[in-house]
Amino acid sequence: MQTQALQSNFRTTAPNPSTGFKGFEAGAFTFARDEYFAHVSWPDGKHSMPIDAFLRALMRDIAWGFFYGTVNFDGVFGTTNHYGEVEMFAGSMNEAYTSTKRDFLQRFSADDLMKTFREMIDDWTVEGYDPFAAPMETSVPWGPKRGKNSSAVTRQRVTAKRMVGMPGDTPVRSDASGYPVNRMFADVAQDAPEVHAEPGFEGQISAYNLFGYVSRSDVTWNPSVCSVLKDSLFCPTSEEFMLPVEHGNDRCEWFLQLSDEIVWKISDGKTGKPRATVTMRAGDICCMPADIRHLGFSPKRSMLLVWENARADLPQMIRDQKIPVVAVRF
Amino acid sequence: MTHTTQFGSIAAFQSGGIQPIDDDPKNYVFSNVFAVAGKSAPYERIAVGKNLEYVIEAVRAEGISPWYAAPHDEFALAMDGDVTVEFVKHVVNAEIGGTAGAKLLTTEPQGKKMGWVRLRRGHMALLPVGAAYRFNAQTISCLVIQTIAGPLTVERWALICHTQALS
């Protein structure tokens, strides 16, 4: 695979006198927002997205550290993680663009691009709007610049080292720690498991209420690492409305539906052509193959356990066809 | 407006499925942990998820299990029911070391009692390395276990996975 030179042009332009929002440049890409839309331009093209959809996608790309594989903001614009470096593209995952050679792609240091993305979300997110929140739980992003919501857009993704609730690890959530039960999970039991450690074994025996923990999540579509077995990561998350990105897999990823229902629209990872619709209800478990992209719809807030294998060389093993794009053949 | 959260159980669950457009349903390795546990013998450890060496096992917890130990951490999540887990100190010896995954202990562990936890729906427990453990469920319960494939892991994908389109 040909490696592109890393781009070094990063620039922030003065606030637009009409809207009050700053503009941004990264490589040959430029970004601007107005009262309703985000506009992305590159040397031979331009693309616009509704600002709410753009900010929700940008927020996940930031929070996930460009995640595993490709984060398609929509069918045109997105990023692909190369773990330390990132490709930003327009049309590269869209057959209409690639077949006419109208796609455009540049490569960046992940840290450098992340700085620009963080600055962008901080400037473009207005007071009262939370791109992590379900639409019914936040104000609107429209209009000219009015204040900020820095505390919402700088939340840190939870990553337990061993398991939530263990001594020295990420704590359980509670009313007192600022995590009330979400309105759609008011009926979820909040009882704690009984834990009886013999003297001398305190802290070695541990359990917590994972469903209660997820019911108190203040964000949507933002998996938290809650238990860790080497590269095997259990990442539960609360989901409502729709996944703000089409996540393109670079490895197999498993979903275990813990409650309620999510419908997944599955498309080909490279072309975007539809492949399947997967409906998951409580107890259902399935694999997202490594060559697809997926977009989820959750009409009621639901609990999903995302299971990742964080092994660093998996994408290359798949590209080299050392392992298949499906997790199990039978 | 009030909302009702839909969980499942071995006794009551409603599985979804796959509507292929241009794909093979088998690529999604789709099953349901309650359906799998409901058709399993007590404490069979049925793989319902696999990513190279790592697995998620579905377990029907019913009565008292044998003693297990693994040369690494494992985690048990109660999807439904009421399960007690007992822990006894147990060093990683030749019987459980060597290869990954949970092993069945052939004799009662002789180490110090470490304690116990009682899990109900949604509770997750650490099954720590260095401990032997056993489950006790007075009612039929469903566990999922985050672990590494081992000699007790049962793979019968063709029997548990959806192979037909959702109608």
| Mean of the per-residue pLDDT values of chain A | 97
Residue whose tokens read 């994408």: A315
Query: Taking the complete model, does pTM exceed 0.80, yes or no?
Result: yes
| pLDDT tens digit sequence for A248-285 | 999 999 999 999 999 999 999 999 999 999 999 999 99
Closest CA of chain B from A66, distance in Å: 21
pLDDT at A59: 98
| pLDDT tens digit sequence for A34-53 | 999 999 999 999 999 999 99
Mean pLDDT for the stretch of residues A195-220 = 97
pLDDT at A5: 94
d(CA B167, CA B164): 9
Amino acid occupying residue B49 = G
Q: Measured between beta carbons, which residues in chain A are less than 8 angstroms from residue B28? A: 276, 278, 286-289
Task: Count the neighbouring beta carbons within 10 Å of the beta carbon of residue A290.
Answer: 24
Residue A275, chain B, CB below 8 Å: the answer is yes
| pLDDT tens digit sequence for A48-91 | 999 999 999 999 999 999 999 999 999 999 999 999 999 999 99
Taking CB atoms within 8 Å and a gap of at least 24, the contacts of A180-185 are A180/A216, A181/A212, A181/A215, A181/A216, A182/A215, A182/A216, A182/A217, A182/A218, A182/A238, A182/A301, A183/A137, A183/B3, A184/A240, A184/A300, A184/A301, A184/B3, A184/B5, A185/A214, A185/A215, A185/A216, A185/A238, A185/A301, A185/B3, A185/B5
| Residue A1 scores a pLDDT above 80 | no
| Residue A27 scores a pLDDT above 90 | yes
| Residue A2 scores a pLDDT above 60 | no
3-state secondary structure of B97: coil
A277's torsion region: left (phi>0), alpha (psi -120 to 50) or beta? beta
Amino acid occupying residue A138 = T
CB B155 within 8 A of CB B47: yes
Residue A101, chain B, CB below 8 Å: the answer is no
Interface test with A, best of B5, B36, B84 (most A CBs within 10 A): B5
Quick one: closest CA in B to A232, which residue?
Answer: B54
| pLDDT tens digit sequence for A154-199 | 998 889 999 999 999 999 999 999 999 999 999 999 999 999 999 9
Structure tokens at A125: 């997110």
> Using CB atoms, which residue from A209, A278, A300 is nearest to B28?
A278
Quick one: closest CA in B to A262, which residue?
Answer: B16
- CB burial of B109-131 (b: ≥16 within 10 Å; e: otherwise) equals beeeebbbbbbbbbbbbbbbbbb
Contact A195 B75 (CB under 8 A): no
Residue whose tokens read 């404490």: B43
CB A212 within 8 A of CB A205: no
Structure tokens at A162: 């061993």
d(CA A269, CA A272): 6
pLDDT at B96: 84
Query: Helix, strand, coil % (nearest 5) of chain B?
Result: 10, 45, 45
User: For each of chain B's 167 residues, which pLDDT tens digit applies?
Assistant: 899 999 999 999 999 999 999 999 999 999 999 999 999 999 999 999 999 999 999 999 999 999 999 999 999 999 999 999 999 999 878 888 889 999 999 999 999 999 999 999 999 999 999 999 999 999 999 999 999 999 999 999 999 999 989 87
Over the Cα atoms of chain A, what is R_g?
Answer: 20
CB A89 within 8 A of CB A80: yes
Closest CA of chain A from B105, distance in Å: 20
Contact A285 B33 (CB under 8 A): yes
CB A249 within 8 A of CB A291: yes
Structure tokens at B142: 């469903």
pLDDT at B54: 98
Mean pLDDT for the stretch of residues A198-202 = 97
> Using CB atoms, which residue from B34, B114, B166 is nearest to A201?
B114
| Residue A109 scores a pLDDT above 60 | yes
Q: How confident is the model at residue A3 (pLDDT cuts 50, 70, 90)?
A: low
User: CA dist A155 to A17, A118, A184, Å?
Assistant: 30, 12, 22
d(CA A329, CA A326): 7
Task: Count the neighbouring beta carbons within 10 Å of the beta carbon of residue A303.
Answer: 27
Mean pLDDT for the stretch of residues A117-135 = 98
H or E segment at B58?
strand B54-64
